[in-house]
Amino acid sequence: MDDTDVPQASIGDVPVDFDETVVLLDVREDDEWQRGHAPGAQHIPMGDVPARLAEIDTEAQLFVVCHAGGRSQRVAQYLARNGYDPINVAGGMLAWAGAGRPVVTDGGDSGAI
């Protein structure tokens, strides 16, 4: 059991826009990402995170999201042990979509969660 304490953010505390200073790391699988994701999110599936750590900006404010919050919690704990200061998005993309926030596909169309 991993007891690394990671801050939790309710969806209202998560920014809507992402840039070089704020990253939303989506750790869901490829098929989930393709159905729909937050505009501007960075996608690295959970299993690929250890091999792709260098792609995650250590300077940016880092929010980690998955479908409902479980996988992102585990990834956030891993990142916290590796020098990052991640914030887990409580409720995941279900909460994001439930709050009426935009969900898009890679093609820019409306997506689904």
Where in the chain are the domains? 8-98
| Residue percentage of the chain with pLDDT more than 90 | 95
Asked if pLDDT for residue 1 goes beyond 50, the answer is no
pLDDT recorded at residue 3? 59
Q: What distance in Å separates the CA atoms of residue 6 and residue 34, rounded to the nearest whole number?
A: 27
Burial of 21 (0-12, 13-18, 19+ CB in 10 A): exposed
Q: What distance in Å separates the CA atoms of residue 48 and residue 1, rounded to the nearest whole number?
A: 21
Asked if pLDDT for residue 84 goes beyond 80, the answer is yes
pLDDT recorded at residue 22? 97
66 is catalytic: yes
Backbone angles phi, psi at 77, to 5 degrees: -65, -40
Instruction: Find the catalytic residue in 66, 75, 79, 87.
Output: 66
Fold exhibited by the domain 8-98? Oxidized Rhodanese; domain 1 (3.40.250)
pLDDT recorded at residue 106? 94
Q: What is the mean pLDDT of residues 27-40?
A: 98
